[in-house]
Amino acid sequence: MSDPIPLNLARLRRTCAECSLQMLCLPAGVDAEDLGRLDTVVQRRKPLAKGESLYRTGDPLRAVFVASEGSFKTVVVNPAGEEHVLGFHLPGELFGLDAIGSGQHRCEAVALSDSRVCELPFSQLATIAAKLPSLQQQLLRVIGQSADRDHDHVDVLSRRQASERIALFLHGLSERYRRIGRPCDDFQLPMSRDEIARYLGLVLETVSRGFSRLHEDGVIEVRGRRVRIVDETALCLAANGGSDGASPQPRKRDRA
């Protein structure tokens, strides 16, 4: 453990190449020894089957997570029994931070497909961060990025047109695929129409119709969960109020 462990560094670089833990592991200023210490803390590649929960509402804060394979959703079930989707978590994206406020998870994390996750015990993370200022900064940044995704969600939900929400959702997803180093204009949705609907505050039929409409308008190609973005510009336009397909003048600026 006191040896500088170049082997571990190499392995981490390889296996976590596109992982957001990279932000925690590999910033400048974290040397091999520090990294080795962190490495002993990360528990790697825990497998989960589709539909299994990683944590449930009320569970104490134990760790933060990153899927190395597969995606997750986080959901809350309200008193009326309806399920709301709070977020989707692609491979390489950190999640599970919802518990750092109260110490308890406010939602449930469910695997959308057979998955593998790395987990990083939070107490040890905090301890190490206290000793490594650079790691502390990285930790703050990663937390901030997680909050940014929540803001994106709010942004989507604030749109009052279903077509805007759907376009913005697809655009955001594309952006995130790009960021984790995957094709961003041709991908497989890890979630169902119903789950998208519960994320967007709509019903599944509306989502389906929205997809069909974007297809008709030549913005995307859809077949089931396969999505190809044909016209990214048009997608952005649709996300910002160019709601109706053939709106001749999508220019409306209200001012006071």
Partner DNA sequence: CGTTACGTTGAGGTATCTCAAGACGGGTGG
Partner DNA sequence: CCACCCGTCTTGAGATACCTCAACGTAACG
On whether the CB atoms of residues 14 and 22 are closer than 8 A, the answer is: no
Q: Does 237 bind DNA (CB under 7 A)?
A: no
Q: Rounded to a whole number, what is the distance in angstroms from the first to the last CA of the chain?
A: 64
Q: Characterise 247 by phi-psi region: left (phi > 0), alpha (psi -120 to 50), beta (else).
A: beta
Select from a second copy, DNA, none the partner in contact with residue 205, using the beta carbon and a kind-dependent cut-off of 5 to 8 Å: DNA
CA distance linking residue 212 with residue 208, whole number of Å: 6
Q: How far is CA 24 from CA 29, 100, 132, 233, 242, in A?
A: 11, 17, 11, 34, 40
135 vs 167, beta carbon nearer DNA: 167
Here's the x/- map for DNA, 198-217, by CB under 7 A: it reads as ---xxxxxxxxx-xx-----
Least separation, in Å, of the C-beta of 221 and a second copy? 25
248 binds DNA (CB under 7 A): no
- Distance between CA atoms of 202 and 207, rounded to whole angstroms? 7
CA distances from 112 to 51, 62, 108, 152, 213 (A): 6, 21, 12, 21, 26
Query: Which is nearer to DNA, 100 or 236 (by Cβ)?
Result: 236
Q: Choosing among a second copy, DNA, none, which partner's interface includes residue 78 (Cβ < 5 to 8 Å by kind)?
A: a second copy
Query: Minimum Å distance from CB 88 to DNA?
Result: 14
User: Measured from the CB atom, is 33 or 83 closer to a second copy?
Assistant: 83
Between strands 72-77 and 108-111, the pairing is antiparallel
Select the residue interacting with DNA from 162, 220, 234, 235 (CB under 7 A).
162
Q: ∠41-44-47 over CA atoms, to 5°?
A: 145
* Percent of the chain as helix, strand, coil, to the nearest 5: 45, 20, 35
Q: Which residues bind a second copy (CB under 8 A)?
A: 76, 78-82, 84, 86, 97-102, 106-107, 126-127, 129-130, 133, 136-137, 140-141, 143-148, 150-151, 153-155, 157-160, 198, 201, 240-241, 252-255
Q: Distance (Å, rounded) from C-alpha 155 to C-alpha 6?
A: 43
Q: Does residue 136 bind DNA (CB under 7 A)?
A: no
149 binds DNA (CB under 7 A): no
Closest CB 152 distance from a second copy, rounded Å: 9
Q: Which residues bind DNA (CB under 7 A)?
A: 160-163, 192-194, 201-209, 211-212, 222-225, 253, 255
